[in-house]
Amino acid sequence: MQDQNKEMQDQNYVITIGRQLGSKGVYMGQRISRHFGFKYLDREILVRSAEMLHVPESKLQHVEEKSYSIWESFLQTSIYDSPYVPTFYYMPTGRQIFETQTQIIRKAARESSCVVVGRCGSYIFAEHPRHVSVFLHADKEYRIVNAARFLNISEEEARKEVEKTDKERSRYVRTYTGMNRLDLTQYDIAIDVGKVGFEKAGDILIDYIQARFPQLGK
């Protein structure tokens, strides 16, 4: 029975998308999920993590894909105006958040084919037989313009956000997987969206997935 369950789970497809801020990873994930009819995992991971860790969703959102604890994040972002946080407030560590989200993602992949953006997905599903790992990147100036537009902030603010997020995501991946997320050899396909544009990048990715798994093109 256990072997049968595993065989059924391995029939599902998993597309994981690593990305740099400003390379439209969310847009790409949603497009791929619509095209193939796969479940798109993003907000659901956040909601379920908050429930399992007994942490307000709004607070957990501030520390996703960062390697420090919620407590440290609260101090850094000055979420509280009060000089202290009540001692009864439970604050999970970065490790607990990572392990909880990994559990949620794996469970979702056992239930249906899915697309996962970020959250070390390429590492989590490295041994999955029907997994395609993607990395989206572009030069910094291109990403700054996109981030400013998407976040509705100035380009000066966007530059700071891009640089900060690049460091945080790299530290996050290194802390919990021991890998360098900019080592493109660990992905099946890496696309410079700045060179081809978002729409063409999506076409390339769909063609690649169908080349890997021709049955999806039928």
Q: Where are the domains of the chain?
A: 2-217
Q: Which CATH class is domain 2-217?
A: alpha beta
- pTM equals 0.85
Per-residue pLDDT tens, the chain, 218 aa: give them. Answer: 444 445 445 689 999 999 999 999 999 999 999 999 999 998 788 888 888 988 888 777 767 667 654 445 444 444 444 444 454 455 678 888 899 999 999 999 999 999 999 999 999 999 999 999 999 999 999 999 999 999 999 999 999 999 999 999 999 999 999 999 999 999 999 999 999 999 999 999 999 999 999 999 86
Q: What is the pLDDT of residue 167?
A: 93
List, as own/partner pairs, every contact residues 57-61 make where C-beta atoms lie below 8 angstroms and the sequence separation is at least 24, other chains included.
60/97
Radius of gyration over every alpha carbon of the chain, rounded to an integer in angstroms: 18
Q: Which residue in the block uniquely carries the two structure tokens 């790299």?
A: 170
pLDDT of residue 68: 54
Counting other chains too, the contacts that 199-208 makes at CB distance below 8 Å and 24 or more residues apart are 201/28, 201/136, 202/28, 202/31, 202/32, 205/28, 205/32, 205/134, 206/32, 206/35, 208/132
Please report the pLDDT score of residue 9 as a whole number. 55
